[in-house]
Chain A
């Protein structure tokens, strides 16, 4: 096969470019443990209210012994429950979401909190929020004609102590 010398140089550049991009992705994934939400955990979406974790009384923000925070929420047509949560900044947070009905997604704009919420599965996001203030948390995956009305508020307060 005939490959032009110029072409060989270009192929070298292309391979180098690709390697640099892949290298940085693998570096942040392995050295920095940066992963998208991927917990592969099943739940019976038709009986969420009967589970311990997603029963109405147990939703909301919970402080853990190690200083981290767990936020448990239900996403349903058309809102996130509880409708308002307060989370400390600069503190490890674990969000856990489930839905009794159809597909949803959630995003807190300008943060990396973003996950799909899918019936049959529990979604988990691990993060640390940096700036304080009140943000919308809206549904970003089409879930029916009321989709645009599906949003709640998140207030990020200065860390305790």
Chain B
């Protein structure tokens, strides 16, 4: 591929929006920990607006832009062809930016204190919902391109296995398409009409069930790029091999199929879904543990191969010979540690009955900051450090600074989330600006609140260092860098694959059935029960 055909501008444009907004949201995170530790005065409107903005940016803006940029870059590198239909890609980008600006307008004017979960019958200004819808619609351009490019490639290379990076990117695009259906229906048919005053009432049970459809698979959409880097960049950078291409495909397929129909575990204590359906989704939730644990095995095996090739001996000696000064390798090590801790918390959340002990306590943000802000985002950092030199043609400004930044992020996350788990078990609620309850109840929470403020500040410092390093790289003061993007090769690269392991037609049909079973009646019931819908509320 010629230099000018590379999707550098496209990928950089997406990723810079992601990281600039990430920096802003990190500063809001610091504000939140200070406010929760009562180190700054109570300002309820400010707190709830900040939590909404922090959640929306981290969960929707950062992720959607980063994943799209990453996908475009990897697809063109792996298939060795330019991104198909660049005007469509830029059109999607523009629409997403307009959407974000509309959401920001609603937030800064104080008209969107509804959390990133949208929270009807609380109602935000209509620009909040229309903006969110534009962000989603714009991202569909990416989905289309990520589905068309492998189809074209397969036509030109009949019978050949799709490169694993493209296969998994298309898995993620497919997952995103399924995922967004729930929230799209909620926003278009319930929230936008409600916020514009076109309807007076909304069925909150229906709205929450639709949102739950989206709320679980979306976390796997965010996680998959991190897994892709672990499978295909980490062994390559460490000097090893991918342990198994085929098991990696199986894991991505299982992530797609199992993560979609289990959203009800967010509704365990909602009154409008019957126990049997909750149990059904609880069962499905534990099935997602299988591809996750297989991924852990394959990734660690890839790292072990690298360590042994570099002369490591004995049961754990290979750990010492790994190149920990490489951001990609260090990030993977730290990410796996956080994934283990966070996974344990997730098992508690997912357990049908134990959930009532921790529901809506600080345990929940502790769990998802470990997995999402920790595991996932630290791999996004490593991806950024890996791709910036390829995209800008300049060496990374400082590798030392990069590893320092990754360590700081890891330490910050641990200091933030360990006390959160503890106070969660004591009952400290999440999403609250103050805790004016019986003093003897609140007093034991205080020391943990101070610790979490320390952890949060460390993370924000780390976020600033990341951006500094990338800006300095982009500002082109560094020597020229090698630009080719390489992916780890499997020990036994597949020569031929059965059709279901090289495309998604079969899996989509299975999903039609599985989603129908999991959500069919639970959604239909709202049209059979005599529900009296709720009125819209301000804040």
Contact = CB atoms under 8 A, between A and B. Distances in A.
Judge: A and B partners, yes or no. Answer: yes
Interface of A: 1-4, 6-7, 10-11, 14-15, 17-18, 21-22, 25-26, 28-29, 34-46, 101-103, 105, 107, 109-110, 112-124, 134-136, 138-149, 151, 153
A140 B429 contact: yes
B356 interface: yes
Nearest to B42: A148
B352 interface: yes
A114 B360 contact: yes
A18 B244 contact: no
Contacts of A29: 275, 279, 352-353
Contact of A11 (B294, B534, B537): B294
24 contacts: A1-B246, A1-B498, A3-B244, A3-B246, A7-B247, A21-B347, A36-B275, A40-B271, A40-B274, A41-B271, A101-B535, A101-B537, A102-B534, A109-B426, A110-B427, A115-B271, A116-B271, A118-B208, A121-B271, A123-B271, A142-B431, A146-B44, A148-B436, A151-B437
Contact of A18 (B273, B289, B530): B289
Nearest to A112: B356
Nearest to A45: B534
Given A38-B274, A40-B274, A140-B432, 13 more contacts: A40-B273, A41-B271, A44-B532, A103-B122, A109-B427, A110-B426, A118-B272, A121-B205, A143-B122, A147-B431, A148-B432, A148-B433, A148-B436
A102 B289 contact: no
Nearest to B201: A46
Given A7-B247, A39-B271, A25 B351 contact: yes
Which of A41, A103, A120, A148 is most buried by chain B, counting CB atoms within 10 A of its CB?
A: A120
The 8 residue pairs across chains A and B that have the minimum distance between CB atoms: A109-B427, A119-B534, A136-B437, A140-B360, A44-B532, A123-B271, A38-B275, A148-B434
Q: Contact size class for B? A: 35 or more
Interface in B316-370: 347, 351-353, 355-357, 359-361
A76 to B, nearest CB: 11
Contacts of A44: 532
B177 interface: no
A36 B353 CA distance: 6
B311 interface: no
Contact of B529 (A4, A42, A144, A145): A42
A34 B272 contact: no
Contacts of B290: 14-15, 18
A73 to B, nearest CB: 14
Interface stretch (B218-226, B280-288, B397-405): B280-288
B527 interface: no
Nearest to A24: B351
B275 to A, nearest CB: 4
Nearest to A136: B437
A120 B359 contact: no
A105 B532 contact: no
Given A38-B271, A122-B271, A141 B433 contact: no
A135 to B, nearest CB: 7
Nearest to B247: A7
Interface of B: 44-45, 48, 113, 115, 119-122, 203-205, 208, 243-244, 246-247, 268-275, 278-279, 282-283, 286-287, 289-290, 293-294, 297-298, 301, 347, 351-353, 355-357, 359-361, 426-427, 429-438, 441, 492, 498, 501, 525, 529-535, 537-539
Contacts, number: 207
A84 B263 CA distance: 35
A80 B298 CA distance: 51
A122 to B, nearest CB: 7
A140 B352 CA distance: 19
Q: Is the interface of A mostly helix, strand, loop or mixed?
A: mixed
A121 B272 contact: yes
A145 B434 CA distance: 11
Nearest to A108: B427
Contacts of B298: 7
B538 to A, nearest CB: 8
A136 B44 contact: no
B205 A118 contact: yes
Given A25-B352, A109-B427, A148 B246 contact: no
B492 A2 contact: yes
B271 A107 contact: no
Given A140-B360, A145-B48, A124 B279 contact: no
Contacts of B120: 103
Contact of B48 (A17, A120, A142): A142
A87 B238 CA distance: 62
Given A107-B429, A140-B429, A118 B271 contact: yes
Given A4-B244, A45-B532, A110-B427, A37 B269 contact: yes
